[in-house]
Protein backbone atom coordinates (compact mmCIF):
# COMPACT_ATOMS: atom_id res chain seq x y z
CA UNK A 1 0.00 0.00 0.00
CA UNK A 2 1.31 3.43 -0.91
CA UNK A 3 0.94 6.21 1.60
CA UNK A 4 -0.69 9.61 1.34
CA UNK A 5 -0.11 13.00 2.88
CA UNK A 6 -1.95 12.38 6.14
CA UNK A 7 -0.07 9.15 6.83
CA UNK A 8 1.25 9.24 10.42
CA UNK A 9 4.84 8.63 9.27
CA UNK A 10 4.63 11.46 6.76
CA UNK A 11 3.32 13.75 9.46
CA UNK A 12 6.09 12.62 11.79
CA UNK A 13 8.72 13.37 9.14
CA UNK A 14 7.38 16.89 8.69
CA UNK A 15 7.35 17.36 12.47
CA UNK A 16 10.90 16.13 12.98
CA UNK A 17 12.69 17.30 9.85
CA UNK A 18 10.51 20.20 8.73
CA UNK A 19 12.46 22.46 11.06
CA UNK A 20 15.87 21.64 9.64
CA UNK A 21 14.92 21.57 5.97
CA UNK A 22 14.81 25.06 4.55
CA UNK A 23 12.95 25.65 1.35
CA UNK A 24 14.04 27.80 -1.57
CA UNK A 25 13.31 28.02 -5.27
CA UNK A 26 14.72 24.98 -7.14
CA UNK A 27 17.50 25.83 -9.60
CA UNK A 28 17.76 23.90 -12.87
CA UNK A 29 19.82 26.25 -14.99
CA UNK A 30 23.60 25.59 -15.02
CA UNK A 31 24.66 29.25 -15.31
CA UNK A 32 22.40 30.27 -12.48
CA UNK A 33 23.62 27.37 -10.36
CA UNK A 34 27.28 28.26 -10.94
CA UNK A 35 26.53 31.83 -9.90
CA UNK A 36 24.65 30.87 -6.73
CA UNK A 37 27.33 28.35 -5.77
CA UNK A 38 29.88 31.11 -5.97
CA UNK A 39 27.90 34.00 -4.45
CA UNK A 40 26.00 32.19 -1.73
CA UNK A 41 28.05 29.09 -1.01
CA UNK A 42 31.47 30.52 -1.89
CA UNK A 43 32.18 27.45 -4.01
CA UNK A 44 34.07 27.69 -7.28
CA UNK A 45 32.51 25.10 -9.54
CA UNK A 46 32.71 25.03 -13.32
CA UNK A 47 29.72 24.90 -15.57
CA UNK A 48 30.75 21.60 -17.10
CA UNK A 49 30.54 19.82 -13.75
CA UNK A 50 27.22 21.42 -12.88
CA UNK A 51 25.78 20.54 -16.31
CA UNK A 52 26.90 16.91 -15.96
CA UNK A 53 25.25 16.57 -12.58
CA UNK A 54 22.02 18.17 -13.77
CA UNK A 55 22.00 15.93 -16.85
CA UNK A 56 22.48 12.84 -14.69
CA UNK A 57 19.60 13.83 -12.44
CA UNK A 58 17.36 14.48 -15.43
CA UNK A 59 18.34 11.06 -16.79
CA UNK A 60 17.37 9.52 -13.45
CA UNK A 61 20.88 8.48 -12.45
CA UNK A 62 22.69 9.03 -9.15
CA UNK A 63 26.10 10.67 -9.31
CA UNK A 64 29.44 9.57 -7.88
CA UNK A 65 32.04 12.24 -7.08
CA UNK A 66 35.39 10.53 -6.93
CA UNK A 67 38.69 12.15 -6.06
CA UNK A 68 41.25 13.09 -3.41
CA UNK A 69 40.35 14.68 -0.05
CA UNK A 70 39.83 18.41 0.23
CA UNK A 71 38.74 18.95 -3.36
CA UNK A 72 35.25 20.06 -2.38
CA UNK A 73 33.30 16.87 -3.13
CA UNK A 74 31.19 16.96 0.01
CA UNK A 75 30.44 20.67 0.09
CA UNK A 76 29.77 20.94 -3.63
CA UNK A 77 27.58 17.83 -3.62
CA UNK A 78 25.51 19.07 -0.73
CA UNK A 79 25.08 22.51 -2.26
CA UNK A 80 24.08 21.22 -5.71
CA UNK A 81 21.52 18.82 -4.19
CA UNK A 82 20.08 21.64 -2.11
CA UNK A 83 19.75 23.95 -5.10
CA UNK A 84 18.32 21.25 -7.34
CA UNK A 85 15.59 20.23 -4.88
CA UNK A 86 15.07 23.66 -3.41
CA UNK A 87 15.45 22.06 0.00
CA UNK A 88 18.35 21.50 2.36
CA UNK A 89 19.97 18.19 1.40
CA UNK A 90 20.48 15.36 3.86
CA UNK A 91 24.01 14.11 4.48
CA UNK A 92 24.71 10.48 5.37
CA UNK A 93 28.31 10.00 6.52
CA UNK A 94 29.05 6.32 5.90
CA UNK A 95 30.80 3.86 8.19
CA UNK A 96 31.03 0.04 8.21
CA UNK A 97 28.20 -0.39 10.64
CA UNK A 98 25.82 1.88 8.81
CA UNK A 99 22.66 -0.02 7.97
CA UNK A 100 19.09 0.43 6.88
CA UNK A 101 17.91 0.98 10.45
CA UNK A 102 20.08 4.03 10.75
CA UNK A 103 19.15 5.55 7.43
CA UNK A 104 15.56 4.44 6.82
CA UNK A 105 14.13 4.05 10.28
CA UNK A 106 13.71 1.82 13.29
CA UNK A 107 11.51 1.23 16.29
CA UNK A 108 12.00 2.94 19.58
CA UNK A 109 12.39 -0.06 21.96
CA UNK A 110 10.40 1.33 24.88
CA UNK A 111 7.69 2.79 22.68
CA UNK A 112 7.45 -0.52 20.81
CA UNK A 113 6.96 -2.35 24.08
CA UNK A 114 4.21 0.02 25.03
CA UNK A 115 2.44 0.51 21.68
CA UNK A 116 3.65 -2.42 19.62
CA UNK A 117 5.66 -2.31 16.37
CA UNK A 118 3.61 0.27 14.52
CA UNK A 119 3.68 3.90 13.35
CA UNK A 120 3.54 5.12 16.91
CA UNK A 121 6.91 3.62 17.82
CA UNK A 122 8.60 4.00 14.42
CA UNK A 123 11.37 6.61 14.09
CA UNK A 124 11.91 7.76 10.50
CA UNK A 125 15.57 8.43 9.60
CA UNK A 126 17.12 10.72 6.96
CA UNK A 127 16.73 8.61 3.80
CA UNK A 128 13.04 8.06 4.44
CA UNK A 129 12.70 11.72 5.36
CA UNK A 130 14.38 12.74 2.09
CA UNK A 131 12.04 10.64 -0.06
CA UNK A 132 9.00 12.02 1.78
CA UNK A 133 10.18 15.64 1.72
CA UNK A 134 11.45 15.33 -1.86
CA UNK A 135 14.95 16.42 -0.84
CA UNK A 136 18.42 15.33 -2.01
CA UNK A 137 20.80 12.99 -0.20
CA UNK A 138 24.57 13.15 -0.08
CA UNK A 139 26.00 9.73 0.76
CA UNK A 140 29.45 10.65 1.96
CA UNK A 141 32.43 8.28 1.69
CA UNK A 142 30.45 5.41 0.22
CA UNK A 143 33.50 3.08 0.26
CA UNK A 144 33.31 3.01 4.03
CA UNK A 145 29.97 1.21 3.93
CA UNK A 146 29.28 -2.46 3.27
CA UNK A 147 28.38 -3.80 -0.17
CA UNK A 148 25.03 -4.86 1.23
CA UNK A 149 24.32 -1.27 2.24
CA UNK A 150 25.34 0.00 -1.20
CA UNK A 151 23.00 -2.44 -2.91
CA UNK A 152 20.14 -1.45 -0.66
CA UNK A 153 20.69 2.22 -1.56
CA UNK A 154 20.87 1.50 -5.28
CA UNK A 155 17.64 -0.44 -5.15
CA UNK A 156 15.90 2.50 -3.49
CA UNK A 157 17.36 4.99 -5.96
CA UNK A 158 16.41 2.86 -8.98
CA UNK A 159 12.85 2.31 -7.92
CA UNK A 160 12.44 5.66 -6.16
CA UNK A 161 10.64 4.06 -3.28
CA UNK A 162 11.27 2.70 0.19
CA UNK A 163 9.47 -0.34 1.52
CA UNK A 164 9.08 -0.67 5.27
CA UNK A 165 7.88 -4.26 5.63
CA UNK A 166 7.25 -3.96 9.38
CA UNK A 167 4.68 -1.27 8.68
CA UNK A 168 3.50 -2.88 5.43
CA UNK A 169 4.05 0.42 3.68
CA UNK A 170 5.66 1.78 0.55
CA UNK A 171 6.91 5.36 0.49
CA UNK A 172 7.36 6.72 -3.04
CA UNK A 173 9.39 9.72 -4.15
CA UNK A 174 7.01 12.64 -4.59
CA UNK A 175 8.90 14.67 -7.16
CA UNK A 176 12.24 15.16 -8.88
CA UNK A 177 13.92 16.60 -5.77
CA UNK A 178 14.95 13.21 -4.40
CA UNK A 179 18.40 12.69 -5.96
CA UNK A 180 21.58 11.13 -4.66
CA UNK A 181 25.24 12.08 -4.86
CA UNK A 182 27.87 9.67 -3.52
CA UNK A 183 31.38 10.74 -2.65
CA UNK A 184 34.43 8.52 -2.55
CA UNK A 185 38.18 8.75 -2.32
CA UNK A 186 39.73 5.93 -4.38
CA UNK A 187 43.21 6.52 -2.97
CA UNK A 188 42.15 5.94 0.61
CA UNK A 189 43.79 2.57 1.23
CA UNK A 190 42.00 0.10 3.42
CA UNK A 191 38.64 1.05 2.03
CA UNK A 192 36.55 -1.30 -0.03
CA UNK A 193 36.34 -1.33 -3.79
CA UNK A 194 33.10 -0.32 -5.42
CA UNK A 195 31.35 -3.21 -7.11
CA UNK A 196 30.66 -3.34 -10.85
CA UNK A 197 26.95 -3.39 -10.02
CA UNK A 198 27.40 -0.10 -8.20
CA UNK A 199 29.51 1.52 -10.90
CA UNK A 200 27.09 0.44 -13.61
CA UNK A 201 24.31 2.44 -12.05
CA UNK A 202 26.04 5.71 -11.23
CA UNK A 203 27.34 8.55 -13.32
CA UNK A 204 30.93 8.98 -12.19
CA UNK A 205 32.50 12.43 -12.09
CA UNK A 206 36.20 12.63 -11.39
CA UNK A 207 37.51 15.34 -9.05
CA UNK A 208 41.09 16.46 -9.19
CA UNK A 209 43.37 19.06 -7.72
CA UNK A 210 42.52 22.32 -9.46
CA UNK A 211 44.91 24.16 -11.78
CA UNK A 212 46.85 26.93 -9.97
CA UNK A 213 44.67 29.86 -11.11
CA UNK A 214 41.55 28.11 -9.93
CA UNK A 215 43.09 27.18 -6.59
CA UNK A 216 44.03 30.84 -6.13
CA UNK A 217 40.43 31.78 -6.82
CA UNK A 218 39.27 29.25 -4.21
CA UNK A 219 41.65 30.64 -1.59
CA UNK A 220 40.56 34.20 -2.33
CA UNK A 221 36.87 33.48 -2.03
CA UNK A 222 37.47 31.67 1.29
CA UNK A 223 40.09 33.93 2.88
CA UNK A 224 37.76 36.10 4.98
CA UNK A 225 40.40 38.47 6.13
CA UNK A 226 41.12 42.18 6.36
CA UNK A 227 44.80 41.48 5.78
CA UNK A 228 45.66 41.40 2.07
CA UNK A 229 47.36 38.38 0.60
CA UNK A 230 49.63 39.49 -2.28
CA UNK A 231 49.17 37.56 -5.54
CA UNK A 232 52.75 36.51 -5.75
CA UNK A 233 52.75 35.06 -2.25
CA UNK A 234 49.59 33.13 -2.99
CA UNK A 235 51.12 31.76 -6.20
CA UNK A 236 54.12 30.53 -4.20
CA UNK A 237 51.86 28.85 -1.65
CA UNK A 238 50.10 27.03 -4.42
CA UNK A 239 53.44 25.97 -5.87
CA UNK A 240 54.27 24.50 -2.44
CA UNK A 241 51.10 22.45 -2.14
CA UNK A 242 51.44 21.19 -5.70
CA UNK A 243 54.98 20.05 -4.97
CA UNK A 244 53.84 18.29 -1.79
CA UNK A 245 51.15 16.51 -3.77
CA UNK A 246 53.99 14.94 -5.72
CA UNK A 247 56.45 14.29 -2.95
CA UNK A 248 54.70 13.80 0.38
CA UNK A 249 52.44 10.99 1.52
CA UNK A 250 50.01 13.48 3.07
CA UNK A 251 48.77 15.34 0.03
CA UNK A 252 47.31 18.74 0.89
CA UNK A 253 44.04 19.45 -0.90
CA UNK A 254 42.64 22.89 -1.68
CA UNK A 255 40.95 22.67 1.75
CA UNK A 256 44.44 22.63 3.31
CA UNK A 257 45.62 25.52 1.15
CA UNK A 258 42.61 27.52 2.35
CA UNK A 259 43.38 26.74 6.00
CA UNK A 260 47.03 27.64 5.50
CA UNK A 261 46.15 30.99 3.93
CA UNK A 262 43.56 31.77 6.59
CA UNK A 263 45.97 31.12 9.45
CA UNK A 264 48.66 33.20 7.73
CA UNK A 265 46.19 36.06 7.31
CA UNK A 266 45.23 35.86 10.99
CA UNK A 267 48.89 36.01 11.98
CA UNK A 268 49.25 39.18 9.91
CA UNK A 269 46.21 40.67 11.61
CA UNK A 270 47.61 39.77 15.03
CA UNK A 271 50.83 41.56 14.12
CA UNK A 272 48.71 44.59 13.37
CA UNK A 273 49.61 44.43 9.70
CA UNK A 274 47.23 44.84 6.80
CA UNK A 275 49.32 42.67 4.48
CA UNK A 276 50.36 39.05 4.80
CA UNK A 277 54.11 38.58 4.44
CA UNK A 278 56.37 35.60 3.90
CA UNK A 279 57.02 35.11 7.63
CA UNK A 280 53.29 34.72 8.32
CA UNK A 281 53.10 32.19 5.52
CA UNK A 282 56.05 30.13 6.78
CA UNK A 283 54.87 30.32 10.38
CA UNK A 284 51.38 29.18 9.36
CA UNK A 285 52.89 26.35 7.31
CA UNK A 286 54.39 24.79 10.44
CA UNK A 287 50.95 24.29 11.93
CA UNK A 288 48.93 23.60 8.79
CA UNK A 289 51.28 21.63 6.52
CA UNK A 290 53.24 19.60 9.08
CA UNK A 291 50.94 16.64 9.32
CA UNK A 292 53.32 13.85 10.24
CA UNK A 293 56.59 14.07 12.16
CA UNK A 294 58.47 12.04 9.55
CA UNK A 295 57.34 14.43 6.82
CA UNK A 296 58.27 17.75 8.40
CA UNK A 297 61.54 17.56 6.54
CA UNK A 298 60.02 17.33 3.08
CA UNK A 299 57.72 20.26 3.90
CA UNK A 300 60.73 22.33 5.03
CA UNK A 301 62.60 21.37 1.90
CA UNK A 302 59.78 22.50 -0.39
CA UNK A 303 59.27 25.73 1.57
CA UNK A 304 63.01 26.45 1.21
CA UNK A 305 62.93 25.77 -2.52
CA UNK A 306 59.92 27.95 -3.16
CA UNK A 307 60.48 30.82 -0.72
CA UNK A 308 64.27 30.62 -0.54
CA UNK A 309 64.27 30.81 3.25
N1 LIG B 1 35.92 24.39 -5.57
C2 LIG B 1 35.99 24.87 -4.33
N3 LIG B 1 35.42 26.03 -4.00
C4 LIG B 1 35.51 26.51 -2.75
N5 LIG B 1 36.16 25.89 -1.76
C6 LIG B 1 36.76 24.72 -2.01
C7 LIG B 1 36.70 24.15 -3.31
N8 LIG B 1 37.39 22.98 -3.29
C9 LIG B 1 37.85 22.83 -2.05
N10 LIG B 1 37.49 23.87 -1.26
C11 LIG B 1 37.89 23.99 0.15
O12 LIG B 1 37.71 22.70 0.69
C13 LIG B 1 36.65 22.66 1.64
C14 LIG B 1 35.65 21.61 1.26
O15 LIG B 1 36.23 20.40 1.17
P16 LIG B 1 35.34 19.07 1.21
O17 LIG B 1 34.05 19.31 0.54
O18 LIG B 1 35.31 18.57 2.60
O19 LIG B 1 36.26 18.18 0.30
P20 LIG B 1 36.20 16.61 0.07
O21 LIG B 1 34.83 16.17 0.41
O22 LIG B 1 36.58 16.47 -1.36
O23 LIG B 1 37.25 16.04 0.99
C24 LIG B 1 35.99 24.01 1.57
O25 LIG B 1 35.59 24.41 2.89
C26 LIG B 1 37.07 24.89 1.01
O27 LIG B 1 37.91 25.35 2.04
MG1 LIG C 1 34.31 14.80 1.89
Domain for residue 2, yes or no?
A: no
The stretch 197-224 carries a mean pLDDT of 97
The stretch 47-66 carries a mean pLDDT of 97
* Final residue before a domain boundary, out of 146, 173, 206: 206
Range with lowest mean pLDDT among 3-7, 111-115, 203-207: 3-7
- Work out the mean pLDDT of the chain and round it to a whole number: 95
Range with lowest mean pLDDT among 52-61, 86-95, 192-201, 264-273: 192-201
Domain for residue 94, yes or no?
A: yes
The stretch 220-243 carries a mean pLDDT of 97
Q: How confident is the model at residue 108 (pLDDT cuts 50, 70, 90)?
A: very high
Phi, psi of 21 (to 5 degrees): -100, 110
Domain identity same for 258 and 174:
no
Domain identity same for 175 and 293:
no
Q: How confident is the model at residue 36 (pLDDT cuts 50, 70, 90)?
A: very high
- The proportion of the chain whose per-residue pLDDT surpasses 70, expressed as a percent, equals 99
The stretch 277-295 carries a mean pLDDT of 96
Q: What pLDDT is attached to residue 191? A: 72
User: Does 192 have pLDDT greater than 80?
Assistant: no
User: Does 261 have pLDDT greater than 90?
Assistant: yes
Domain identity same for 191 and 218:
no
Phi, psi of 67 (to 5 degrees): 170, 180
User: Does 97 have pLDDT greater than 80?
Assistant: yes
* Final residue before a domain boundary, out of 206, 229, 248: 206
Count up the domains in the chain and report the number. Answer: 2
Pocket of ligand 1 contains residue 77 by CB under 6 Å: no
* Final residue before a domain boundary, out of 188, 206, 224: 206
The stretch 55-77 carries a mean pLDDT of 97
Domain for residue 1, yes or no?
A: no
User: Does 245 have pLDDT greater than 90?
Assistant: yes
Domain for residue 147, yes or no?
A: yes
Domain identity same for 111 and 240:
no
- State the CATH number of the domain containing residue 226: 1.10.8.80
User: Does 189 have pLDDT greater than 80?
Assistant: no
Domain for residue 3, yes or no?
A: no
The set of residues, in sequence order, having a beta carbon less than 8 Å from that of 3 and lying 6+ positions away, is 9, 10, 169, 170, 171
> Rounded to whole angstroms, how far apart are CA atoms 34 and 51?
10
* Atom number of ligand 1 nearest to Cα 42: 4
Instruction: Tell me the chain's radius of gyration from C-alpha atoms.
Output: 23
**Ligand showing the shortest atom-to-Cα distance for residue 256:** 1
Domain identity same for 186 and 221:
no
Domain identity same for 123 and 63:
yes
User: Does 307 have pLDDT greater than 90?
Assistant: yes
Domain for residue 49, yes or no?
A: yes
Domain identity same for 250 and 132:
no
Domain identity same for 12 and 152:
yes
User: Does 6 have pLDDT greater than 90?
Assistant: no
User: Could you tell me the distance, in angstroms and rounded to a whole number, from the CA of residue 57 to the centre of ligand 1?
Assistant: 22
Domain identity same for 153 and 217:
no
Pocket of ligand 1 contains residue 70 by CB under 6 Å: yes
Domain identity same for 119 and 244:
no
Helices marked H in the chain: 8-17, 30-39, 47-58, 73-85, 100-103, 109-115, 126-133, 147-159, 196-201, 212-222, 231-247, 254-270, 278-288, 296-307
Q: What pLDDT is attached to residue 256? A: 98
User: Does 1 have pLDDT greater than 70?
Assistant: no
Give residue-wise pLDDT tens across range 131-174: 999 999 999 999 999 999 999 999 999 999 999 999 999 999 99
Smallest CA-to-CA distance from 78 within 106, 96, 53 is with: 53
Report strand pairing: 63-66 vs 180-184. Answer: parallel
Pocket of ligand 1 contains residue 72 by CB under 6 Å: yes
Q: What pLDDT is attached to residue 193? A: 85
Q: Domain range holding 49?
A: 8-206
Domain identity same for 180 and 224:
no
> Rounded to whole angstroms, how far apart are CA atoms 269 and 263?
10
Domain for residue 278, yes or no?
A: yes
Q: What pLDDT is attached to residue 5? A: 77
* Atom number of ligand 1 nearest to Cα 45: 1
The stretch 217-238 carries a mean pLDDT of 97
Domain for residue 72, yes or no?
A: yes
**Ligand showing the shortest atom-to-Cα distance for residue 251:** 1
Domain identity same for 153 and 258:
no
Query: What is the DSSP track for 220-250?
Result: HHH---SSB--HHHHHHHHHHHHHHHHH-SS
- The proportion of the chain whose per-residue pLDDT surpasses 90, expressed as a percent, equals 91
Residue nearest to atom 25 of ligand 1 (CA): 255
Q: How confident is the model at residue 28 (pLDDT cuts 50, 70, 90)?
A: very high
Neighbours of ion ligand 2 (CB under 5 A): 74
Amino acid sequence: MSVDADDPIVRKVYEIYGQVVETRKPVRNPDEMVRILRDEYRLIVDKRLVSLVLAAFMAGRPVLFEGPPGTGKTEIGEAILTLWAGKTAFVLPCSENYDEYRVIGDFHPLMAMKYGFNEESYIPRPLLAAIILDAGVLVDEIRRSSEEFQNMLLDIIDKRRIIVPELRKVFRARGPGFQVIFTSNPEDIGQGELSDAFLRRVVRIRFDYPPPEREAEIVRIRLDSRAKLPDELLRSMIAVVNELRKRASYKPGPADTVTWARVAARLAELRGSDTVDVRDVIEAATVTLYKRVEEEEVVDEVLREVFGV
